[in-house]
Amino acid sequence: MGHVGGHVPRTRADHRRLGAALALIVVFMAAEVAAGLAAGSLALLTDAAHMLTDAAAIALALLAMRIAAVPPKGGYTYGLKRAEILSAQLNGLTLVVLALSFGYEGVRRFLSPQEVEGCLVLGTALAGVVVNLAATWLMSRADRSSLNVEGAYQHVLNDLLAFAATAVAGGVVLLTGWNRADAVASLVVAVLMVKAGCGLVRDAGRVLMEAAPAGMDPAEIGGTMAELPRVLEVHDLHVWEVTSGHPALSAHVLVEPDGDCHAVCRDLRRMLRERYEITHATLEVEHLDEDGLHCEEAHGPRHVPRRVLVPRQGSGRH
């Protein structure tokens, strides 16, 4: 009960922090679009587009947090926890598409530079640095173990770097009159957007494809499980994430004929929880057949303890 009671206030606090960051970004984004049009600066307009994706990322994170809180029912036996993964995937794809668009425009403007108001670009970019510092600080205090919250945070953090690049470009134009600096800054921002977008798509794709969580090696986990006393073999081992920060595991475990299946199951669950922080484990634990045959058609590799060699001859049953 203590965990649940502490989780609800934290979720509400995260909503407030993300909401405040969203308000800051939306207000400044509108001002930046006006400044970019007035200054004729592609870098400012690119930054504004990046801020639009920031706002969308935060809004989707807030929406996904609410949807993910819906309890399991009907055919959705895990609830709607993967809503945050879908929002992260959408955020990543949006970043990549916008980056390609602004990258093309940046190359065009580099080849055919236009007049840019360096003073206005510099002032707006410096104001953007301040706004993004405030938004980044607010979001850094939220629960970043959630992939879409972390994705929204990375959006804002990348935007902070983008504003720094734009400020440098504004200073160069102001001091030297080299208008191509604006196009160079927009290309730098586009590269940052591609990097952030591809990272989000990759991480969300791993969850959707039910790959093992980053940092978890199924072979290592299977080997560790097989080394527990009384365990003879572990197979049909699957490790995946229901959503970011919620790893799950299932496996078929064979124990010695005189072993206590219930005790082995308890030991395995304890080890998985303490060593790998896996708290959702579905384990099928049973004795090895007297003839040493079992599950010849097991899916994936078999994990056998180093202390024993299990004979494998003939055909068996699953």
* Strand ranges of the sheet holding 247-255, from the earlier edge strand across to the other edge: 231-241, 247-255, 280-287
Residues of the chain with pLDDT under 70: 1-11, 143-145, 148, 290-299, 307-318
Integer-rounded Cα Rg, in Å, for the chain is 26
- Complete domains list, the chain, with CATH: 2-208 (1.20.1510.10), 210-318 (3.30.70.1350)
Q: What is the pTM of this model?
A: 0.72
Helical (H) or strand (E) element with 88: helix 83-111
Tally Cβ neighbours within 10 Å of residue 177. 11
Whole-number pLDDT of residue 292: 52
Whole-number pLDDT of residue 38: 85
Phi and psi at residue 73, in whole multiples of 5°?
-165, 155
Whole-number pLDDT of residue 240: 95
